């Protein structure tokens, strides 16, 4: 077992293999096609395939064929074994040398305190999907959540289809604006309890780790701003995305957050993302 774990560490010591592994860790429990991995990391397809093969050989990731696509996902039991090896074998289990989670192994069993929670939704431009999500959760359960949204590459303004649709549905849009995610990574920013990415590009970004005990999840939704055709066809694309996000958010708002331990809550949030519908509200 020690030799296998040392071989896995050697595999991960290669910077670009490590980048592929970190991307798949960020997207767990999602399965990603090779093309998306190559595009996200700006790798040639042949190069990405070589790195993926090495990670498979080390049993760090799995490969599954669906139709003509090969999908990749972290093999979490192996990764957990590797983490355990580093802590127990290399650090001798010393709490003064281990990361915070190992210092407090019951953290995953802890429950959220009964209070109002801060939630951040992130997409690429913060002009459509994350704006929809911010508005929906504020309307569905604004008494329980303080809701924000941001983008990794925010646009200068909000998409006009979004504003028109929200106004037609009775939402207050006067306070909405496009902003950069860095606004929520300063010392004066509100402590975030939940962070959701609602587009694949944002989820694939290697962002700084959120401070504190933030729970994160990815809810993949189609980008309506890329819709082509008539205004009616574009409006339908925005309506579909709105519906998908509303279904996810209603499922999240219905969770008994205070009665679930953090691991159960994380699993529930992941399941919502795995079952993201096309939506039709």
Active-site amino acid positions: 123, 199, 207
Give the strand pairing for 61-66 and 69-74: antiparallel
Q: Name the CA radius of gyration of the chain, rounded.
A: 20
Task: Say whether 89 sits in a helix, a strand or coil.
Answer: helix
For 222, list phi and psi in degrees, rounded to 5: -70, 150
User: Rounded to whole angstroms, how far apart are CA atoms 234 and 223?
Assistant: 11
Q: Identify the residue whose tokens are 């790195």.
A: 51
Q: Identify the residue whose tokens are 């915070």.
A: 100
Helix-helix angle 129-141:160-168, to 10 degrees:
20
Task: Kindly report the number of other CB atoms within 10 A of residue 209's CB atom.
Answer: 8
Task: Kindly report the number of other CB atoms within 10 A of residue 140's CB atom.
Answer: 17
């Amino acid at each position: 077992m020690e030799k296998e774990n040392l071989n896995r560490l050697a595999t991960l010591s290669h910077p670009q293999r490590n980048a592929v592994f970190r991307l798949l860790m960020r997207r767990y429990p999602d399965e990603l096609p090779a093309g998306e991995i190559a595009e996200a990391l700006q790798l040639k397809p042949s190069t990405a395939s070589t790195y993926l093969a090495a990670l498979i050989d080390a049993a760090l990731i799995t490969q599954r064929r669906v139709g003509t696509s090969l999908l990749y996902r972290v093999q979490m039991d192996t990764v957990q074994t590797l983490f355990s090896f580093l802590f127990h074998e290399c650090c001798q289990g010393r709490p003064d040398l281990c990361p915070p989670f190992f210092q407090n192994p019951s953290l995953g069993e802890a429950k959220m305190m009964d209070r109002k929670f801060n939630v951040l939704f992130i997409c690429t431009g913060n002009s459509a999907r994350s704006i929809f999500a911010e508005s929906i959760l504020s309307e569905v359960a604004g008494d329980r959540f303080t809701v924000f949204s941001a983008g990794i590459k925010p646009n200068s303004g909000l998409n006009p289809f979004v504003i028109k649709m929200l106004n037609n549905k009775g939402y207050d849009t006067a306070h909405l604006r496009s902003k950069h995610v860095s606004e929520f990574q300063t010392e004066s920013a509100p402590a975030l309890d939940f962070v959701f990415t609602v587009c694949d590009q944002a989820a694939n970004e290697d962002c700084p780790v959120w401070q504190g005990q933030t729970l994160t999840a990815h809810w993949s939704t189609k980008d309506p701003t890329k819709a082509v055709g008539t205004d009616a066809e574009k409006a339908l694309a925005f309506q579909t995305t709105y519906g998908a996000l509303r279904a996810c958010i209603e499922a999240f708002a219905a969770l008994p957050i205070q009665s679930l331990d953090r691991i159960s809550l994380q699993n529930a949030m992941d399941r919502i993302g795995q079952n993201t519908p096309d939506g039709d509200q």
